[in-house]
Amino acid sequence: MIHFPGLEHLPALPVIIPLIAAPFTIVMRPGRTPWLWATLVSWVTFACTLLLLEVVWHGGPTEYKMGGWAAPLGITYYIDLANALVMMLVAAMAAVVFPYAYFSVKSEIARAQSPAFYTAMIICLTGLLGVAATGDAFNVFVFLEISSLSTYALVAMGARRDRRALTAAFNYLVMGTIGATFYVIGLGLLYQATGTLNMLDLHERLAGQDNKVVEAGFAFIVTGIGLKLAMVPLHLWLPNAYGFAPSAVTAFLAATATKVQIYLMVRFIYTVFGFEFPFLEVALNAFLILGIVGMFYASFVAVFRDNVKQMLAYSSVAQIGYMLLGISFGTVDGLTASFVHIFNHALIKAALFMGVGCVVLRIGSSQLTAFRGLARRMPWTTWALVLSGLSLIGVPPTVGFISKFKLMEAAFQTTTLIPPLLVVLLIGASSLLAAVYVGRLIYTMVLEQPPENAPAIKEAPHAMRVALWIMVIANIYFFFFTDLTVGVATQAAEALMCSQAGCGGAY
- The residues that touch another protein, with contacts defined as CB under 8 A, are 167, 170-171, 174-175, 178-179, 182, 212, 215-216, 218-220, 222-223, 226-227, 233-234, 236-237, 278-279, 281-283, 286, 395-397, 405, 408-409, 412-413, 421, 424-425, 428-429, 431-432, 435, 439, 443, 446-447, 480, 482, 486
How do 62-65 and 76-79 pair as beta strands? antiparallel
Between 42 and 223, whose beta carbon lies closer to another protein?
A: 223
Instruction: Tell me how far apart the alpha carbons of residues 83 and 92 are, in angstroms, rounded to a whole number.
Output: 14
Between 57 and 279, whose beta carbon lies closer to another protein?
A: 279
Between 226 and 357, whose beta carbon lies closer to another protein?
A: 226
Coil, strand, or helix at residue 443?
Answer: helix
Q: If phi over 0 gives left and psi between -120 and 50 gives alpha, with beta otherwise, what is residue 372?
A: beta
Instruction: Tell me how far apart the alpha carbons of residues 176 and 170 are, in angstroms, rounded to a whole number.
Output: 10
Between 247 and 403, whose beta carbon lies closer to another protein?
A: 403
Between 286 and 466, whose beta carbon lies closer to another protein?
A: 286
Closest CA to 311 of 430, 440, 450, 445: 440
Between 36 and 446, whose beta carbon lies closer to another protein?
A: 446
Shortest distance (Å) from residue 161 CB to another protein: 20
User: For helices 81-108 and 247-266, what crossing angle results, to 10°?
Assistant: 160
Between 39 and 444, whose beta carbon lies closer to another protein?
A: 444
Shortest distance (Å) from residue 239 CB to another protein: 12
For residue 76, give the amino acid letter.
T
Shortest distance (Å) from residue 320 CB to another protein: 15
- Other Cβ atoms within 10 Å of 388 Cβ, number: 28
Shortest distance (Å) from residue 436 CB to another protein: 8
Instruction: Tell me how far apart the alpha carbons of residues 270 and 252 are, in angstroms, rounded to a whole number.
Output: 27
Between 50 and 446, whose beta carbon lies closer to another protein?
A: 446
Who contacts 41 (Cβ-Cβ below 8 Å, separation ≥6)?
A: 17, 18, 21, 122, 125
Shortest distance (Å) from residue 85 CB to another protein: 18
Shortest distance (Å) from residue 446 CB to another protein: 7
- Asked if the bond preceding 397 is cis, omega within 30° of 0, the reply is yes
Shortest distance (Å) from residue 443 CB to another protein: 8
Q: Which helix (H) or strand (E) holds 45?
A: helix 32-59
Q: In the 8-state DSSP scheme, what is residue 455?
A: P
Between 20 and 447, whose beta carbon lies closer to another protein?
A: 447
Shortest distance (Å) from residue 293 CB to another protein: 12
Shortest distance (Å) from residue 439 CB to another protein: 7
Between 137 and 241, whose beta carbon lies closer to another protein?
A: 241
- Whether the CB-CB separation of 413 and 420 falls below 8 Å is answered with yes
DSSP string computed for 298-367: HHHHHHH-SBHHHHHHHHHHHHHHHHHHHHHT-SHHHHHHHHHHHHHHHHHHHHHHHHHHHHHHHHS--B
Between 98 and 237, whose beta carbon lies closer to another protein?
A: 237
Shortest distance (Å) from residue 290 CB to another protein: 9
- Other Cβ atoms within 10 Å of 59 Cβ, number: 10
Shortest distance (Å) from residue 241 CB to another protein: 12
Who contacts 415 (Cβ-Cβ below 8 Å, separation ≥6)?
A: none
- Whether the CB-CB separation of 127 and 97 falls below 8 Å is answered with no
- Asked if the bond preceding 233 is cis, omega within 30° of 0, the reply is yes
